[in-house]
Amino acid sequence: MNRKKYQVIYDQLKADIRQGIYCQGQLLPSEMELCLQFETSRETLRKSLQLLQNDAYIQKIRGKGSIVIYDPSLNFELASLTSFQEINAGLSQPYQTEVAVLETIKAKDYPDVKTALQLRDFDTILRVVRLRKKGPRVNIVDIDFFNPKLVPGITEEVAQTSIYRYIEKDLNLVISHSAKTITFQPANQTLQDYFQQLEPAYVALVEATVFLGDGQPFQLNQSHHRPSSFKFTNFSRRQS
Amino acid sequence: MNRKKYQVIYDQLKADIRQGIYCQGQLLPSEMELCLQFETSRETLRKSLQLLQNDAYIQKIRGKGSIVIYDPSLNFELASLTSFQEINAGLSQPYQTEVAVLETIKAKDYPDVKTALQLRDFDTILRVVRLRKKGPRVNIVDIDFFNPKLVPGITEEVAQTSIYRYIEKDLNLVISHSAKTITFQPANQTLQDYFQQLEPAYVALVEATVFLGDGQPFQLNQSHHRPSSFKFTNFSRRQS
DNA sequence: GAGTGGTCTAGACCACTAA
DNA sequence: TAGTGGTCTAGACCACTCG
């Protein structure tokens, strides 16, 4: 068997919930029943339920069962580490990407980037600016800094399609995790020129340092959003 | 034994990492070694490591070990479901809270709130406005809507101290999870009056619907932040 | 090949809920 | 009291990394 059993069960239950076979407020069958149904042990099944709980599909209640809390009106994809390309593919009206800048710069001229990517003065950085447009209207300006020693060979063509796909499929590297901050910043003249019109002259800035599987930071992403079309969604649980 | 074994191990390792006994980039002892050290089975120990990984303390790498990725300069508390009172208690310079409004309103006059709290036209809602100040300066305006059938008896005194404490300790209810969105909005006249000065006339709005353990929504929280002092931090992992 | 983490099992006992 | 989920165990086998 190729795929992991708990993953198969997770996918199946998730699909059932999304299709409304199990509805919001309803209880799933008990763990015992699900074990029989999927022909598995209890710990394996519980692993699947744990994942469903982490992803806001169910809420487990001791002594009662697992209640479905999935709400189709919510959309949590921005809270996970997903490339623009991957989100865009799911949109009904996708964005066009325009690569505005692709240049190599010196680490010592960008001290903040140098720190974030843990570089030294004499290292180089690949700087990429991409405009995400709907027709003529620019809604997002992505400014990215890559460590070319870790992820070499990013060309304009790669930047045009999907850099994450290139890193994972072609370079065969593991993209692991990311630390993100959201702030509200005045837009400098360059940004105002990209956006054409900005009211007020502020942007929502999502800044993320992204790490490879071995813990090394390879990318600093600064995603500038037109404030009127910015929305970040998140799910959180109360600690007990 | 009262506390859960995996929780004890998790707490211990977390403390060790925070105190620098294990440093960023370093490997933890292997699972075998840790099992011996904590006198436990491997699955239990792995549960603790799983928690550490979820909370951005370590990154597990198959065939190698568990690498410490904890970065003390990041602060993830806003990404979890934590009451203002609880965050405030950890600040060196705490906020003062002023209860500006505490009133009962009709659900049918607030259709958005009615929907979020799953109420009917003739239900009532408790509306609370609280100002979070540092000296004379208001930095956050919290507007909350509670379902009084689920969480009755919220008084001005409760609102002044901690509503979550009251709900958990006095009402003995379980606060479970929350769906949150972050947007940037123009500030209406009332908000501008509260904030005194706002440059630009925008606020960062963190809107959260909060649910009890049985899946019922009891609170809609609209937290309006002065944009210049707003920062949201988040951690995410790439799906495999 | 030795050592690491990843998956899966069968079974035990405990804590909580509801009738 | 019966049924639910929560914790913990000991052991098996697999997949991966590295010298």
Question: Over the stretch B8-54, which tens digit does the pLDDT of each residue have?
Answer: 999 999 999 999 999 988 999 999 999 999 999 999 999 999 999 98
Q: What is the pLDDT of residue B78?
A: 46
Mean pLDDT (whole number) for A97-114: 96
CA distance B123 to B146: 11
How many CB pairs lie under 8 A apart between chains A and B?
142
List of chain B residues whose C-beta atoms are within 8 Å of the C-beta of residue A184:
184, 202, 204, 227-228, 230
Q: What is the mean pLDDT of chain A?
A: 88
Contact call for B177 and A59, based on CB within 8 A:
yes
Q: What is the pLDDT of residue B216?
A: 84
Closest nucleotide to B32, Cα to C1': C4
Instruction: Enumerate residues 6+ apart whose C-beta is below 8 A from A94.
Output: A88
Q: Helix axis angle, B5-18 relative to B42-54, nearest 10°?
A: 50
Please provide residue B190's backbone torsions phi and psi, each rounded to the nearest 5 degrees.
-60, -45
Instruction: Let me know: does A183 contact B230? Beta carbons within 8 Å.
Output: yes
Cross-chain CB nearest to B69 (options A200, A215, A238): A215
Contact call for A232 and B232, based on CB within 8 A:
yes
Please provide residue A63's backbone torsions phi and psi, each rounded to the nearest 5 degrees.
85, -15
Q: Which amino acid is at A131?
A: L
Distance in Å from D15's C1' to B118's CA comes to: 49
CA-based nearest residue in chain B for residue A24: B215
Those of residues 12-31 in A touching chain B at CB distance below 8 A are 24-25
Q: What is the pLDDT of residue B83?
A: 61
Buried b (16+ CB within 10 A) or exposed e, A134-147: eeeebbbbbbbbbb
Q: What is the pLDDT of residue A199?
A: 80
The DSSP code sequence of A40-108 is --HHHHHHHHHHHHHTTSEEEETTTEEEE---TT---GGGS---HHHHHHT-SSPPEEEEEEEEEEEGG
Q: Is the CB atom of residue A174 positioned under 7 angstroms from any atom of strand D?
A: no
Q: How many CB atoms lie within 10 A of CB B213?
A: 18
Q: Is the CB atom of residue B54 positioned under 7 angstroms from any atom of strand C?
A: no
List of chain A residues whose C-beta atoms are within 8 Å of the C-beta of residue B81:
236-239
Residue B109, min C-alpha distance to chain A (Å): 23
CA distance A143 to B57: 28
For A34, A38, A49, A105, the CA distances from A13, given in Å and listed in that order, are 10, 11, 9, 48
pLDDT band at B173 (very low <50, low <70, confident <90, very high): confident
Q: What is the mean pLDDT of chain B?
A: 88
Instruction: Let me know: does A58 contact A26? Beta carbons within 8 Å.
Output: no
CA distance B233 to A208: 10
Q: Does residue B175 belong to the interface with chain A, where contact is any CB pair within 8 Å?
A: yes
Those of residues 82-141 in B touching chain A at CB distance below 8 A are 82
pLDDT band at A168 (very low <50, low <70, confident <90, very high): confident
Q: What is the pLDDT of residue A76?
A: 53
CA distance A184 to A200: 11
Residue A90, min C-alpha distance to chain B (Å): 16
Both tokens assigned to B20: 């620098």
Q: Is the CB atom of residue B61 positioned under 7 angstroms from any atom of strand C?
A: yes
Q: Is the CB atom of residue B240 positioned under 7 angstroms from any atom of strand D?
A: no
pLDDT of residue B134 exceeding 90, the answer is no
Q: What is the pLDDT of residue B190?
A: 95
Q: What is the pLDDT of residue B86?
A: 61
pLDDT of residue A78 exceeding 50, the answer is no
Q: What is the pLDDT of residue A89?
A: 62
Let me know if A240 is exposed, middle or buried by CB neighbors in 10 A (0-12, 13-18, 19+). exposed
Q: How many CB atoms lie within 10 A of CB A188?
A: 11
Residues 45-104 of A with CB under 7 A from strand C: 47, 61-64
For A54, A206, A211, B52, B208, the CA distances from A234, given in Å and listed in that order, are 12, 14, 21, 20, 9
A200 preceded by cis ω (within 30°)? yes
CA distance A186 to A201: 6
Instruction: Provide, rounded to the nearest whole percent, the portion of chain A with pLDDT above 90.
Output: 60
Q: Is the CB atom of residue B41 positioned under 7 angstroms from any atom of strand C?
A: no
List of chain B residues whose C-beta atoms are within 8 Å of the C-beta of residue A179:
56, 71, 74, 233-235
pLDDT of residue A79 exceeding 60, the answer is no
Distance in Å from D10's C1' to B35's CA comes to: 13
Instruction: Let me know: does A187 contact A224? Beta carbons within 8 Å.
Output: yes
Mean pLDDT (whole number) for A161-178: 87
Q: Does residue A214 belong to the interface with chain B, where contact is any CB pair within 8 Å?
A: yes
CA-based nearest residue in chain B for residue A205: B231
Distance in Å from C9's C1' to A48's CA comes to: 15
List of chain A residues whose C-beta atoms are within 8 Å of the C-beta of residue B175:
238
Contact call for A234 and B74, based on CB within 8 A:
no
Contact call for B202 and A227, based on CB within 8 A:
yes
Q: Does residue B214 belong to the interface with chain A, where contact is any CB pair within 8 Å?
A: yes
Q: Which nucleotides of D are covered by protein (CB under 7 A)?
A: 3-12, 15-18
How many CA atoms lie within 13 Å of B143's alpha carbon, on the beta-carbon side? 11
Q: Does residue B211 belong to the interface with chain A, where contact is any CB pair within 8 Å?
A: yes
Residues B185-240: tens digit of each pLDDT: 999 999 999 999 888 899 999 999 998 887 789 999 999 998 888 888 778 877 65
Please provide residue A155's backbone torsions phi and psi, each rounded to the nearest 5 degrees.
-105, 175
**Of A129-133, B35-39, B76-80, B193-197, which range is least confident?**
B76-80
Instruction: Let me know: does A158 contact A211? Beta carbons within 8 Å.
Output: no
